[in-house]
Chain A
Amino acid sequence: MLTPTRHLLQIEGMHPPEIGALLDLAESYVLLNRSGKTQRDLLRGRTLINLFFEDSTRTRTSFELAGKRLGADVINMSVANSSVNKGETLLDTAATLNAMHCDLLVVRHAQSGAPALLAQKVDAAVINAGDGTHEHPTQALLDALTIRRRRGRLEGLTVAICGDVLHSRVARSNIHLLTAMGSRVRVIGPPTLIPAEASRLGVDVFHDMKSGLQDVDIVMMLRLQKERMSSGLVPSSREFFRFWGLDAEKLAFAKPDALVMHPGPMNRGVEIASDVADDPIRSVIKEQVEMGVAVRMAVLDVLSRQAKRND
Chain B
Amino acid sequence: MTDLLITNVRLLDPASGLDSQGALLVRDGLIADLGPNLGRPDVPTLDGDGAILCPGLVDMRAELGEPGGEYRETIASAALAAAAGGITTVAALPDTQPAIDDPALVRLLRARGEETGSLTILPYGAVTRGCLGTDMAELGLLHEAGAVAFTDGARAIGSTRLMRLALAYARGFGARIVQHPEDPSLAAGGAATQGELATRLGLPAIPAAAEAILVARDIRLAQMTGGAVHFAHISTGEALDLIRRAKADGLAITCDTAPPYFDLNETAIGNFRTYAKLSPPLRREEDRLAIVAGLADGTIDAIASDHQPRDADDKRLPFAQASAGGTGLATLLSVTLAQVHGGQLPLSHAIALLTCRPAALLGSRAGTLARGAAADLCLLDLERAWKVDAGTLPGKAQNTPFDGRALEGRVVGTFKAGRRVFG
Contact = CB atoms under 8 A, between A and B. Distances in A.
B199 to A, nearest CB: 4
A90 B200 contact: no
A197 B196 contact: yes
Contacts of B202: 112, 131-135, 169, 172
A132 B196 CA distance: 17
A198 B195 CA distance: 9
A133 B203 CA distance: 7
Contacts, number: 68
B343 interface: no
Interface string B192-233: 001110111111110100000000000000000000000000
Contacts of A196: 194-196, 198-199, 205, 207
Interface in A111-139: 111-114, 116-117, 131-135
Contact of A112 (B207, B316, B320): B320
- SS class of chain B's interface: helix, strand, loop or mixed? loop
Contact of B319 (A12, A89, A112, A197): A112
B201 A113 contact: yes
Interface string B254-293: 0000000000000000011000000000000000000000
A237 B318 CA distance: 31
Contacts of B272: 112-113, 116-117
A117 B316 CA distance: 8
A198 B198 CA distance: 10
Contacts of B196: 196-197, 200-201
- SS class of chain A's interface: helix, strand, loop or mixed? mixed
A172 B200 contact: yes
A111 B194 contact: no
Contact of B320 (A12, A116, A132, A200): A132
Contacts of A12: 200
B297 interface: no
Interface in B315-330: 316-321
A95 to B, nearest CB: 12
B270 to A, nearest CB: 10
A248 interface: no
B56 to A, nearest CB: 40
B249 interface: no
Interface in A190-233: 195-198, 200-201
Contacts of A197: 195-196, 199
Contact of A91 (B194, B204, B271, B316): B316
B52 to A, nearest CB: 41
Given A117-B316, A196-B194, A112 B205 contact: no
Nearest to A132: B202
B194 A134 contact: no
B42 interface: no
Contacts of B313: 89
Contacts of B194: 196
Q: Which of B198, B205, B271, B318 counts the most chain A CB atoms within 10 A? A: B318
Nearest to A165: B199
A201 to B, nearest CB: 7
13 contacts: A91-B316, A109-B318, A112-B201, A113-B320, A114-B318, A117-B318, A133-B202, A195-B198, A196-B195, A196-B196, A197-B195, A198-B199, A200-B196
Lowest 6 CB-CB distances: which A-B pairs, in order? A134-B202, A111-B318, A113-B272, A133-B202, A112-B202, A195-B199
Interface of B: 194-196, 198-205, 207, 271-272, 313, 316-321
Given A112-B272, A112-B318, A196-B196, 13 more contacts: A89-B313, A90-B316, A90-B318, A112-B201, A113-B319, A117-B317, A132-B202, A132-B320, A133-B203, A133-B204, A169-B202, A196-B198, A200-B199
